[in-house]
Structure 1
Amino acid sequence: MMGKTAIVKIMERAAGRPVQIGERVWCKVDLASARDFGGANCVLQFEKEMGVEARVWDPDKVAYTFDLQAPSHSEKVSNNQKIIRKFAKRQGIRHLFDINHGIGQHVMLEAGLIKPGDVVLGTDSHMNLLGAVGAFATGVGNSDVAAAYINGTSWFRIPETMKILVTGKFQRGVCMRDLLTKMVGGLGAGGMDYLAVEFVGETIHNASLAERITLCSMVTEMSGKVPLIMPDGPVLDWLVERAGDEVLERVKSLSADPDAEYCKVLEYDVSDLEPMASCPDAPDHVKPVAQVAGILVDQVHIGSCSNGRYEDIKAAHAVLMAGGGKVSPTCRTIITPSTTEVQMQCVKEGLVFDFLAAGVVFTNPTCALCTAEHYGALPAGDVGVATNNRNFIGKVGKGSHTYLLSPMAAMATAIRGCIT
């Protein structure tokens, strides 16, 4: 009998029984989360179906994060946020992360709400980046979240698992973002269709939490169901400090067996990797940055759930200072930290002063320019560079086009005013 993959072990824990790949099973939900975008609809649907006096199954397993517009700049979003606040107060839901916290997945990680093996629902298509600490997190519709409020369950089909082995050490100026961009370009938008993906190897073992988040954040763009990296090293220590000693037992019991069977095994050596770019207008339209260098850029945005951690911003800062400490006057440059904790670290270490002196707009923590719903939307005809996970046409402004780069290449671009 073959060993089990991590996702099978996680699903068995959640279902309370043995499971088979391809089987549809009901699972216990450890956390049902919703954003200000979609969260109000979850509340209204739950109350419509169950009545305004109905109680959620466990208020400590429900969370709300305000990160799309924080603070709101439209009455509609303000009203939605108010609906959520009132519902949370009525229900005794303590985990309401209001406008002063940041991107939901990151905030919940920092708050110790996410453990390896947890089943986490959320109204965000990139919830699965929480696989960076071994959680089975998935973006679902409002109805699925509202249904989970009733008795804390949801159903899934057990996916097959792809294994990706990563070896080697990045050259200077190359980083995890370039690896995942290469993966997206090679595998394409459907290359991980409803698969769990285990990332292993020396490069992953040596990766920081920020790097693991970056890697996992783009699995959605390849149609993957969930990425999984079991915590180890400093990442494990960080998670235990936040989420408790239970994490240690979870890692031990839920890690894949040595003889687990995979539907596909891929290997990447990053030693010779060069900076990569996702070109307009799709994440899998990938070329080396060298092939698009020189294209004039109107705006650069560094941030998002993919590259908004302190390490990402610190890397951009190093490039800025090496490049003279000023951005091009022809290129609007915006940096958005992922959370208030990240923001405070940037302030404490003096990075924010240097950014402001350089002509950079350093914002409060939000999802920011992943969509045109935030300040800084691009006008028609403008070209942008971003560290976001998507660059579909019109996503940050109708008629605009966006290149996706690493934080280092994005800042180099901001300094020169053209892709660099």
Structure 2
Amino acid sequence: ARVARDFGGPNVVKTLEEHGLDVDDVSRTFFTFDTNPTGSDQKYAVNQQIVRTYARKHGIKVFDINTGIGTHTLISEGLAWPGSTAVTTDSHANILGSIGAFGQGMGDIDIAVAFNKGKVWFKVPPSVKITFTGKRPANVTAKDIVLNLLHQFGANTLLGYSVEFYGEAVDDLTLDERITIASMGTEMGVIVLLFTPSDAIMQYCEKQTGHKLEKPAADPDATYEMEFTIDISTYVPMVSRPGKPHDTVDIDVARKTRIDSAFIGSCTNGRIEDMRTAARILKNRKVAPGVVLKIVPATDEIWLQCLEEGLIATFKKAGALLSNAGCAGCAAGQVGQNGPGEVTISTGNRNFPGKQGKGAVYLASPATVAASAIAGYITTEDDIPEIAADYSQQDLDGSNNKAIAKQKNVHEKPDVISGRVWVIKKDDIDTDMIFHNRYLQITDPKEMGQYIFDNLAGYEDFAKRVKPGDIVITGKNFGAGSSRQQAVDGFATLGVQAILAESFGAIYERNAINAAFPILTYKSLDALELKDGDVISVNFKTGEVIKLENAKSQHIEPFAEVQLEIYRNDGLF
């Protein structure tokens, strides 16, 4: 399957139409509207209608605003199955690893190629094997498992890998639990987290597809670049502290941190099991005074299950706000955003600065979020007070808180460039720091540059100070996060010639290469002793970097063959 969302979809349509390209196979091509399923934003509404019009013209199926999250829809509609491959503009396409399928998020250009050709190039990831031993503690949820994994591996230890899970504790995981874990592979930097499907999941997928399926499994003689054995009995309930999903701590560290709002939903924790857990804890209880609880099921099918099982009545009686199915706050297109000074506890997968608004966001399991909403502060379901904290009349000064098609260049593109450097010594600069999601409606590259880095602390005025010809040098996992092409195109608009990093987020790497924007990786540039304002030359073919002041040189990774070909062609098209 090849899929574009209401975010990204209009750019895919634009690319196809401007290049006069048709669609390879409409039976495998889909649009999903999940980032703004309320249709409440005028710019999103325009984009959605552009996509609908194109889809009607070409006979492409649209899962519209009444459907829910696209990756979940692919599973429930039988459009992805064990052993299958799907690409989408959703950076959490690796959710499909939950059923033993390969899903990869890609940028708009990649998906336009997939629509047109029915195929794309892949960088085959090396494999890692993780085996769990021991018995999972009763109070450790699937969300806690992945937060513990983030605590161990961080955001870039497994960057670019395909990770397989094994062990009795893994075999016992339900589909909903596997989806929770697989969905946060993006935050770990992996390409995909893969589960061998259980018999129950195989039966479910066979029912949804209407076909007998072969269970995918690793070869008996499979080899792995790295292997880890983890005793799951050592895992504890955890939360991610505001700012970084991988900044995870034992929940006791954050216990009794006051909250203003709570959110249950997202592609990570919007499943029916998550809804049932929340309802069980909320039943016959009330959300704390001054706290807002927002609940968004992942799909309309799950929403209807909540209705049939009486869960919605429980949510409403507890004082929660319930919205229709979709991505919610993660995509800035639905309920779930917060304001300056607001502290939110969320079941989402990201809490980058500004991702869900201008407040602070903790990440936790549905059980922890529901319990915290009742208490008025971060807590666990076994430690809910009889009388909730009441902040509704207090001074909220923050003192109580812890915590356009470009024309082809006719001239030959240079293999060697030189320019002034910006040395940004930061790892894990994500796409919300590069180009914040509040600007996602912008599709004209000429408008993008002014917003580059305006959400990166210390570099908010980068766009005003950068000069055409400059070169950015930064750390690990640059461009982590979402699939937005604007985070690449904005640099080109500013005239930045290249970005050198220790490593790049997988989707960002593809987006830059496909846009013919020069990116290169290095292991070390220490020998050059670079500082802001130094002038260097970079040879894309050989990887030689020269500091022009003293002719010191060092070699980094040169362009790969496919990258050089795309660069010289000034893009894929």
Where 1:228 maps in the other structure, the secondary structure is strand
How far apart are 1:99 and its partner, in Å?
A: 0.6
Which structure is larger by alpha-carbon Rg, 1 or 2?
Answer: 2
- Structure 2 partner of 1:134: 100
How far apart are 1:96 and its partner, in Å?
A: 1.0
- Structure 2 partner of 1:113: 79
* C-alpha separation in 1, matches of 2:222 and 2:335: 47
How far apart are 1:119 and its partner, in Å?
A: 2.0
* C-alpha separation in 1, matches of 2:133 and 2:72: 26
Mapped pair 1:42 → 2:4: no
Indicate if the aligned counterparts of 1:185 and 1:283 stay in contact, CA closer than 8 A.
Answer: no
* Aligned residue identity for 1:367: C
* C-alpha separation in 1, matches of 2:373 and 2:186: 28
* C-alpha separation in 1, matches of 2:232 and 2:100: 23
How far apart are 1:230 and its partner, in Å?
A: 2.4
Indicate if the aligned counterparts of 2:82 and 2:205 stay in contact, CA closer than 8 A.
Answer: no
Deviations 1:254-281 (A, max 9, x none): 4101221011111222224221011111
Indicate if the aligned counterparts of 1:369 and 1:375 stay in contact, CA closer than 8 A.
Answer: yes
* C-alpha separation in 2, matches of 1:118 and 1:406: 29
- Structure 1 partner of 2:325: 365
How far apart are 1:172 and its partner, in Å?
A: 3.0
Q: Within 5 A, what are the aligned runs for 1:155-170?
A: 155-170=121-136
Given the alignment, which residue of 23, 35, 42 partners 1:56?
Answer: 23
Where 1:34 maps in the other structure, the secondary structure is strand
* Aligned residue identity for 2:139: G
Mapped pair 1:66 → 2:33: yes
Given the alignment, which residue of 363, 386, 391 partners 1:404?
Answer: 363
Indicate if the aligned counterparts of 2:35 and 2:332 stay in contact, CA closer than 8 A.
Answer: no
* Aligned residue identity for 1:419: I
Given the alignment, which residue of 289, 298, 317 partners 1:338?
Answer: 298
Given the alignment, which residue of 278, 282, 285 partners 1:320?
Answer: 282
Deviations 1:220-264 (A, max 9, x none): 1111011211212211111111013342x2x2xx41012210111
How far apart are 1:375 and its partner, in Å?
A: 2.8
Indicate if the aligned counterparts of 2:238 and 2:249 stay in contact, CA closer than 8 A.
Answer: yes
* C-alpha separation in 2, matches of 1:375 and 1:292: 25
| Alignment RMSD (CA, Å) | 1.2
Given the alignment, which residue of 220, 223, 227 partners 1:261?
Answer: 223
* C-alpha separation in 1, matches of 2:10 and 2:302: 27
Mapped pair 1:383 → 2:350: no
How far apart are 1:193 and its partner, in Å?
A: 1.0
Mapped pair 1:202 → 2:168: yes
Given the alignment, which residue of 294, 302, 305 partners 2:256?
Answer: 294
How far apart are 1:316 and its partner, in Å?
A: 1.4
* C-alpha separation in 2, matches of 1:297 and 1:245: 48
Deviations 1:374-414 (A, max 9, x none): 2342110110000100001111112x110000000111100
How far apart are 1:147 and its partner, in Å?
A: 1.0
How many residue pairs get aligned? The number is 379
* Aligned residue identity for 2:71: Q
Indicate if the aligned counterparts of 1:124 and 1:140 stay in contact, CA closer than 8 A.
Answer: yes
- Structure 2 partner of 1:222: 188
Q: Which has the higher contact order (CA 8 A, sep 6+)?
A: 1
Where 1:369 maps in the other structure, the secondary structure is helix
Identity, in percent, stands at 39
How far apart are 1:313 and its partner, in Å?
A: 1.0
* Aligned residue identity for 1:155: W
- Structure 1 partner of 2:238: 276
* C-alpha separation in 1, matches of 2:183 and 2:336: 23
Where 2:19 maps in the other structure, the secondary structure is helix
Indicate if the aligned counterparts of 2:98 and 2:175 stay in contact, CA closer than 8 A.
Answer: yes
* C-alpha separation in 1, matches of 2:166 and 2:211: 23
Where 1:157 maps in the other structure, the secondary structure is coil
How far apart are 1:293 and its partner, in Å?
A: 0.3
Indicate if the aligned counterparts of 1:194 and 1:223 stay in contact, CA closer than 8 A.
Answer: yes
How far apart are 1:327 and its partner, in Å?
A: 1.3
Gaps of 5+ in 1: 1-30
Range with greater deviation from structure 2 (226-235 or 378-387): 226-235
How far apart are 1:81 and its partner, in Å?
A: 0.6
* C-alpha separation in 2, matches of 1:355 and 1:168: 35
Q: Which structure shows the bigger proportion of residues in helix conformation?
A: 1
* C-alpha separation in 1, matches of 2:331 and 2:110: 24
* C-alpha separation in 1, matches of 2:96 and 2:329: 21
Deviations 1:22-55 (A, max 9, x none): xxxxxxxxx11011001011011011112xxx43
Indicate if the aligned counterparts of 2:36 and 2:331 stay in contact, CA closer than 8 A.
Answer: no
The two structures have a TM-score, normalised by structure 1, of: 0.88
- Structure 2 partner of 1:310: 272
* Aligned residue identity for 1:73: S
Given the alignment, which residue of 83, 92, 101 partners 2:50?
Answer: 83
Indicate if the aligned counterparts of 2:148 and 2:236 stay in contact, CA closer than 8 A.
Answer: no
How far apart are 1:331 and its partner, in Å?
A: 1.1
* C-alpha separation in 2, matches of 1:224 and 1:211: 18
Indicate if the aligned counterparts of 1:325 and 1:354 stay in contact, CA closer than 8 A.
Answer: no
Q: Within 5 A, what are the aligned runs for 1:17-36?
A: 31-36=1-6
How far apart are 1:204 and its partner, in Å?
A: 1.4
- Structure 1 partner of 2:460: none
* Aligned residue identity for 2:310: G
* C-alpha separation in 1, matches of 2:332 and 2:11: 21
Range with greater deviation from structure 2 (263-272 or 207-216): 263-272
* Aligned residue identity for 2:65: I
The two structures have a TM-score, normalised by structure 2, of: 0.65
Gaps of 5+ in 2: 380-573
* C-alpha separation in 2, matches of 1:267 and 1:244: 37
* C-alpha separation in 1, matches of 2:266 and 2:94: 15
- Structure 2 partner of 1:234: 200
How far apart are 1:329 and its partner, in Å?
A: 1.7
Mapped pair 1:174 → 2:140: yes
